[in-house]
Amino acid sequence: MLSTPEEKNKQPLLNQRRRMLLTIVIALLFLLSVVLGGLFLDEGRIATNLNERNVPPSFDHLFGTDWLGRDMFTRTIMGLSLSIGVGLLGATGSALIALVLGMTAASMGRVADRVISWIIDLFLSVPHLVTLILIAFTLGGGFKGIVIGLMLTHWPSLARVVRAEVLQVRSAEYVQMSKQMGKPRWWIALHHILPHISPQILIGFMLLFPHVILHEAAVTFLGLGLSPHEPAIGIILSESMKYLSSGMWWLAFFPGLCLLIVVRTFDQIGEYLRTLIDPTRAHE
């Protein structure tokens, strides 16, 4: 039934889908501002300045200063920018591993499926953080150790989703017709399967981000992640623990709060993307 002009005028300017798109754009701009802020902020503000040490939050130092007189706002933004960069590398590597193993398990026969499914179950049986600590410790920590550890520990759940999606699309009529026409497996995977599972890969990639960032901060907090010379959030929180009893609450409060905001922002983007791509909600 067609709606009248009066009914169209009564419809809200922003329905649910438009609100989600607007929220995603605002969230991406916020994350971009954090990254650019970490790149372009004056590094002189994190230099040692004993004349301004242990200063509480003020207009000159929004997040206060630490025991060496370093501006905590600058350190926090740089730490968040570094965490986002590490999260980008870790989530990208995990998504690629999940894509390759998921497609291989569903396309290369029963033996490959059984082996890869066993590997997925093996990794899922051990908590991510434990495996990440073992890998980072084995590789000597640092940037390389934490990034490789993040790549190798966060792919199993997404790989299982990719495998299920590939198994579903393999039975589609157009895929069977391509097989009957003599198309090779790689051609079918590239032209039929990969476009079908791309939305799942994108959503999985965005949902991996929060876990990767939090686990990087946790391992760095324990001293097995990034170098202590880097302004990482985990290092900032680890160092601030010694000064909380002295009443310097701002050293841990603001960096921890900003980390939670960034993690929640990535998680919200992933949830909204999943809702927008869901065909059952396409007309909301």
Q: pLDDT > 70: what percent of the chain?
A: 93
Q: What is the mean pLDDT of residues 70-92?
A: 89
Average per-residue pLDDT in the chain?
82
**What confidence score (pLDDT) does residue 29 get?**
92
Whether pLDDT at 107 is above 60: yes
pTM of the complete model: 0.81
Find out whether 284 and 17 touch, Cβ atoms under 8 Å: yes
**What confidence score (pLDDT) does residue 14 get?**
60
**What confidence score (pLDDT) does residue 216 get?**
86
Find out whether 85 and 36 touch, Cβ atoms under 8 Å: no
Residues in the chain: 284
Find out whether 22 and 14 touch, Cβ atoms under 8 Å: yes
**What confidence score (pLDDT) does residue 281 get?**
54
**What confidence score (pLDDT) does residue 12 get?**
54
Whether pLDDT at 4 is above 60: no
Question: Closest Cα partner for 171 from 193, 154, 145, 198?
Answer: 193
- What's at 8, amino acid-wise? K
Adjacent-strand bridge partners of 71: 65
Q: Greater confidence, 10 or 74?
A: 74
pLDDT band at 40 (very low <50, low <70, confident <90, very high): confident
pLDDT band at 197 (very low <50, low <70, confident <90, very high): confident
Adjacent-strand bridge partners of 16: none
**What confidence score (pLDDT) does residue 218 get?**
86
Helix (H, G, I), strand (E, B) or coil at 139: coil
Question: How many whole angstroms separate alpha carbon 257 and alpha carbon 246?
Answer: 20
Question: Closest Cα partner for 203 from 259, 268, 280, 132?
Answer: 268
Question: How many whole angstroms separate alpha carbon 235 and alpha carbon 79?
Answer: 9
Question: How many whole angstroms separate alpha carbon 103 and alpha carbon 211?
Answer: 23
Type and span of the H or E element at 143: helix 142-153
Going from N- to C-terminal start, the domains of the chain cover: 17-42+95-281
Burial (CB count <10 Å: 0-12, 13-18, 19+), residue 282: exposed
Question: Model confidence over 199-249: pLDDT tens digits?
Answer: 888 888 888 888 888 888 888 888 887 877 777 888 888 888 888 878 888
Whether pLDDT at 1 is above 50: no
CATH of domain 17-42+95-281: 1.10.3720.10
Q: What is the mean pLDDT of residues 146-166?
A: 88
